[in-house]
A and B are shown apart, each in its own frame.
Chain A
Amino acid sequence: MKILVPIKRVPDPDHRIRVDLQRIALELSDVPHIINPFDANALEEAVRIREGPVPDAEIIAIGIGDPAWQQELRTSLAMGADRAIHVGVSGPPDPWNVARILRAITERESPDLVLMGKQAVDDDSNQAGQFVAGLLGWPQATFVSQIEFIPLDPEPSIAGHQLRVARETDTGIETIRLRLPAVITADLRLNEPRYAALPAILKAKRKPIETIPLTELNIELSPRVERIALQEVSSSRKCQYVQSVDELLDQLFLNRCL
Chain B
Amino acid sequence: MRILAVIEHDGSSPKPGSLAAVGFAQAVAERNGGHVASLVIGHTVAGIAEILTSFGIVYFADSPALANPLADRYAQVIVDAVSRYHADMLVAASSTYAKDIVGRAAGLLGGAMVSDVVAHDWRDGQLLFVRPMHAGMVTETVILHGDPKIVTIRPTAYPQPIAMETQGELFPIAVQDPLPVGMMWEHLESKLGTRPDVTDARIVVAGGRAIADRHDFERLVGGLADCLDGAIASTRALVDAGIAPNSLQVGQTGKIIAPELYIALGISGAVQHLAGMKNSKKVLAINKDPNAPIFDFADYGLVGDVYDVVPELIGKLHEP
Residues of chain A touching chain B, judged by Cβ–Cβ distance below 8 Å, are: 11, 13, 16-17, 19, 26, 38, 94-96, 99, 118-119, 121-127, 129-135, 137-143, 145, 164, 167-179, 182, 187-189, 222-233, 235, 237-246, 248-249, 251-252, 255, 257-258
Contacts and interface: CB of A to CB of B under 8 A. Distances in A.
Nearest to A37: B253
Contacts of B307: none
Contacts of B303: 241
A123 B96 CA distance: 17
> Interface residues of B: mostly helix, strand, loop or mixed?
mixed
Nearest to A173: B189
12 contacts: A133-B71, A141-B183, A145-B246, A168-B246, A171-B191, A177-B183, A222-B145, A231-B140, A237-B297, A242-B302, A249-B313, A258-B203
Interface in B136-166: 136-146
A179 B72 CA distance: 12
A241 B108 CA distance: 52
B167 to A, nearest CB: 30
B103 A245 contact: no
A257 B261 contact: yes
B145 A226 contact: yes
A235 B293 CA distance: 11
Interface residues of B, number: 86
A257 B260 contact: yes
Interface stretch (B19-27, B31-39, B110-118, B207-215): B110-118
B53 to A, nearest CB: 26
Please provide the 9 A-B residue pairs with the shortest distance between their CB atoms, ordered closest to farther: A134-B107, A96-B111, A130-B103, A139-B182, A131-B107, A175-B186, A172-B190, A229-B141, A177-B184
A92 to B, nearest CB: 12
Contacts of A168: 96, 246-247
A137 B142 CA distance: 28
B135 interface: yes
A11 B140 CA distance: 16
B113 A140 contact: no
B97 A131 contact: no
A23 to B, nearest CB: 9
B35 to A, nearest CB: 24
A214 B193 CA distance: 50
Contact of B246 (A13, A119, A173, A227): A173
Given A124-B252, A170-B199, A225 B142 contact: yes
A233 B141 contact: no
A17 B104 CA distance: 30
Contacts of B96: 142-143, 167-170
A185 to B, nearest CB: 9
A44 B59 CA distance: 43
Contacts of B115: 124-127
Contact of B300 (A133, A143, A252): A252
Contact of A188 (B136, B236, B301): B236
B100 A130 contact: yes
A126 B103 CA distance: 8
Interface stretch (B42-50, B168-176, B278-286): B278-286
A26 to B, nearest CB: 7
A124 B134 contact: yes
B187 interface: yes
Given A96-B112, A130-B100, 17 more contacts: A124-B252, A126-B115, A133-B71, A139-B72, A142-B99, A143-B96, A171-B192, A172-B191, A172-B245, A189-B239, A232-B137, A232-B138, A235-B296, A240-B300, A244-B302, A248-B284, A249-B317
B142 A227 contact: yes
Contacts of A141: 183
A168 B144 CA distance: 29
